Chains A and B, each alone.
Chain A
Amino acid sequence: EVQLVQSGAEVKKPGESLKISCKDSGNSFTNYWIGWVRQMPGKGLEWMGVIYPRDSDTRYSPSFQGQVTISADKSISTAYLQWSSLKASDTAMYYCARALSLVRSPAFDIWGQGTMVTVSS
């Protein structure tokens, strides 16, 4: 059974950098897309971007383009979301999720447990 296991909660200061991870426990990491979704406290879901680990094809939401970097290391079945300079407004829960295809019924069928990122001085 495929599971996405995310790294633990982070507490950072404004201006610091951060890289959180999402590890796939299955054997098909390169056969699907991994997306990242932000959920600010008490708010809804916001799609940030997706990556296809096989060739690192990456698509970003215009709202997050240039604000974060999505990457993947297929050798260890892990996707990453990183910031170079955090802001207080980056405080949120971040989920990774699997999409089997972007051509047929694009949807996120398996989700990680979430990583809470708190940015505070």
Chain B
Amino acid sequence: QVQLVQSGAEVKPPGASVKVSCEASAYPFTDYYVHWVRQAPGQGLEWMGIIDPSGGSTTYSQKFQGRLTLTSDTSTSTVYMHLRSLTSGDTAVYYCARWGWGLDYWGQGTLVTVSS
């Protein structure tokens, strides 16, 4: 069955960067765009960006422009989310999700905690 498996929880100091991976399986990796969505503790869902794994083209939310980079590795069917200049406001669960006609398959989420 389709799966998106994310890397484990991270704790980072303010000012650092974090890279979260999302490995896809059981579907043609390059046929579906992948989104990243985050959720701060007790808050709603926030859309961050999207990547076309086949060509690597990306679109980012204006909020994260200049601080977020999404990349893909077709040899391992893995998408990466790299977020720089972390602040306490970036503490959240980060999800990758496949775009079918909606976000039809989601990763399990990766908790990123920003703390000194």
Q: Please say whether chains A and B are actual partners in one complex.
A: no
